[in-house]
Structure 1
Amino acid sequence: MRNSVPDLELDAYLRLNRASLAEWLAAIRELSGCDDIDCTLFEGSGHQVGALSTLSTERGRLICLYAAEGMEITGCRATAPVFLLPRAGNPEIATRDAPWQSLNQLVLAWPEDRFRLRLPSEASVLILRLEPGKSAPLVPDFSDAGLSKCEELITCYLHRSPFFRDDAHAIRVTNELFLNLTRSAEQSAHICQCPKLDRRLLRAIEKIRYEPGWEFNLQELASHSGVSERNLYYLMKRETGMTPYRLYQRNRLMRVRQRLVDCQCDVPHISWYAADAGFSHLGRFAALYREHFGELPSETVQWRRNLQDQWAGAELPSVPEPLPYSSAAEP
């Protein structure tokens, strides 16, 4: 049985899940650097707004928004070029005073644009924000062909992201992505190589990801996949860059991270969560956690606490009346 965290891009860098509107708004403002962003829920929406994951590097930041409830996000002013890529559902976008349009492919928003996003329930959008001064400038007349190549590069990156070996590898590959987004299509053509995973390998990966109670056994995993142990090992190493056990270990760490992100208790039971995931030595677990996610388990918890403390005494905008949802495709 799958856990309560939705399928989310960069799920190893989950920051917020099952958040209230106030938490959601505070997180978006902090991560985007735009204090006047606002969010309005659609009519009939509940109180658990959604989830988000984020990965920052010296060249830029990726933010994946998942809307558990339908919402409209306004006041998004880019301080640097921003790419927006739909990943699930039927999100919509409006730039400046233009009408709503379906966000069905990669869109590039410029600093002078002030865009709005409309996300129906279970929609997801990936936002890639270039870090000012850290990447080569994009030309203002960025072509459709250039955007098509950028979308291909981002899709290939997302194909690789579940198999980041650790945080250092994730940072390196992400920096390469931002660098290639600023290059011409010809310069980046050799970068995009995303073959489909072998179906036998997919069976092994799904077992590791979606059976949290399963204890690692290479012989059992190979039998489940329909290959020999030796072939499974080399198949996974060749196509993902990871060994079966490394992938298993990383997914156990991700389950602990998901519980820490959701933790609302005064004293998070990090040792309990670690033990439940099969980590018996807390010091070794903490070292592995930092190796994979770039921070200690306590820092994961503290990020959400800081978010709550930061906005606890601040006056957030009053929540407007819910919006009736209507698609841009409707007359």
Structure 2
Amino acid sequence: MASSSHRRRRRPDPNFEWRPVRGPLLAVAAVAAVALVVTLVVAFRPGDASGAAQDRAVSASSSSSVSSSEAEASAAARETASAKPSSASPKPTATARTTPTASASPATTPTRRAAAGSARTPSTTTAPAAGRIHPGASYQGVATSYDAGNGNGACSYGPTSDVMTAAMNTADYETAKACGAYVSVRAASGTAITVRITNECPAPCAVGQLDLSQQAFAKLAPLSAGRIAITWSLLSPATSDTVSIRYKTGSTQYWCGIQAIGHRNPLARLEVRTGGGWLALTRTGYNYFLSEKGTGCGGEIRLTDIYGEQLTVPALPVRPDTIQGTGVQFARH
């Protein structure tokens, strides 16, 4: 039987009034005593099936009453537990997020490979890698002239017979990023020429200024003019040349400088193949990409132009100051 503490207590009737009862109470007690005696006599009579049945009925009724009381007490305990506030601070429930698993893919888009000396189809990325000089943009500035001598300059391309060259102001030169760029230069008269950037024009050259070879300047105005107003823009010209690679003097498998020559579009990045993937080398102001610890020297090279197009050059031997052909070229834009 459940303890009394688990039972619900009935609320007292506020309208109930206790009154003393005497005569009727004695009569009721007498009747109850007689009934008790009769019940005991009947209960102890042997073979009384009806008495046994009555006992079982009483027992069943009592058991049912106890079960009902226990169930009621259990329900009351649950209600009390749920209503009791917790002393602990509530904590947010962490929701697990499921991330879809994608199939593994290489970090870079593979480029079709071909034997050295043959053209290959480059892979193209979507985002251009242009610096200060953007394709399709027109820039205003002034043109001056200088004696280009044998055609060599800060871009370290070496002597050349091409006299249609120019030096780019330091800001737009952008640590040799303008090296090798083809630029269309137009004078106020409407005359236009195409020059290739092979040198840097330091201060006092201003942003937008081009220092043309004397031969190139003379096609726009007399040398005596000194300075003329111009507009210029980047070109992606037709050419039959292909890209070549040159290792800097002093290069070995432990340290090397790598230069790309003859690219149609300005070069944005040069990378070498390593055991962990492609490593971008740092570009110098004299237009070589350096591998200070020799990483990738003599291995595959990947070139990226300012349009985001990539070319992969097969491994070439480290031959200092030797121009080695690749047979590949960037697309025209």
- TM-score, normalization by structure 1: 0.21
> As a proportion of its length, which structure holds more strand?
2
> As a proportion of its length, which structure holds more helix?
1
- TM-score, normalization by structure 2: 0.21
